[in-house]
Amino acid sequence: MPINEDLVARKERWARKMSGKEPRQVRSSDRLPPGQRLVHDWPVLDLGVRPEVPLDKWQLKIHGRVENPLTLNWDQFRALPQFRDASDFHCVTTWSRYDLEFEGVAFFTIAELVKPKPEAKFVFFKSYDGYSTNNPLEVCMDDDVLIAQSANGKPLAAEHGGPARVIIPKKYAWKGAKFIREIVFLDRDILGFWEVRGYSNEADPWLEQRHATYDSRKLP
C-alpha cells in the first residue's frame, strides 16, 4: 500500500503540537469563510436537550471496524495524553468565532488505541442527547481534531456539549457532536441527525456546503 503523504504530514504536525514545537497555524490570512460573520461570544445551539451526565457515570464507547474496541470511563479518558489546540469555530447558522482554545484527547490518540482496520473508512458519532453525525475517517485523522473536555481553560459547560464533545475545526460545527458517548468506525457512510434532514454531508465552510444536493446524500 502506498504511503499516504498527506496523513503523514498531519500526524507530524500533531506530534509537533503535542511537544510544543509548533504553534497553531491558521488556514489562511483570510480566516472568515464566505457567508459568515465574526462574533466574540459563543452562541448556544442544540436540540433543546442538555443531558446531565455525572462524571462517575460518563462513558465513551469506541468500537466498530477496529482491532481493540474499548469503553473509557471519565478517569480513564482524562488519564490519556491531553492535547491543547486553538482553532476557529464555524457554525452553519452563519457565525464564526476565532481562537477558541480546546483541551482534550486528540483523535490520533483514539485511533492509536483502537487501531482501525483497513476497511474502516468512516466514523459515526453518537451523543447522550440522541444526536449523531458522520465524517470520513480521513477528515477525523487531522492534527486539530479532538474530543474536548475544556474550553478556554475551563471545564466544558453543558450548554456547549460537556462533559466532552468532538471538535473538527475544518467543518461546520454540527459535524462535531456534543455530549459524546460513542464513536463507531465503519466501512460505509451512514448519515447523521442533520444529514438525513437535508444538511450537507461534506460541510466545508470555505465552500459554503450548508445543504445537501440529492446526489451527495447517502441514506442508511
Which of 20-34, 112-126, 179-193, 204-218 bottoms out in mean pLDDT, i.e. has the lowest?
20-34
Q: Rounded to whole angstroms, how far apart are CA atoms 168 and 159?
A: 18
pLDDT score for 51: 92
Residue 217 pLDDT grade (very low, low, confident, very high; cuts 50, 70, 90): very low
pLDDT score for 214: 47
Q: Rounded to whole angstroms, how far apart are CA atoms 59 and 73?
A: 5
**Mean per-residue pLDDT for 79-108?**
96
Q: Is 104 a residue whose pLDDT tops 80?
A: yes
**Mean per-residue pLDDT for 149-170?**
96
Q: Is 17 a residue whose pLDDT tops 50?
A: yes
With beta carbons less than 8 A apart as the criterion, state whether 168 and 176 touch. yes
Q: Rounded to 10 degrees, what is the CA torsion of 145, 204, 89, 178?
A: -60
Residue 68 pLDDT grade (very low, low, confident, very high; cuts 50, 70, 90): very high
Tens of pLDDT, residue by residue over 39-65, are 999 888 767 778 989 999 999 999 999
Q: Is 219 a residue whose pLDDT tops 90?
A: no
Tens of pLDDT, residue by residue over 106-137, are 999 999 999 999 999 999 999 999 999 999 99
Pick from 58, 157, 164: nearest CA to 105: 164
Which residue is associated with the grid cell 442538555? 50
- The pTM (predicted TM-score) of the whole model is 0.89
Residue 150 pLDDT grade (very low, low, confident, very high; cuts 50, 70, 90): very high
For residue 104, what is the enclosing H or E element?
strand 95-106
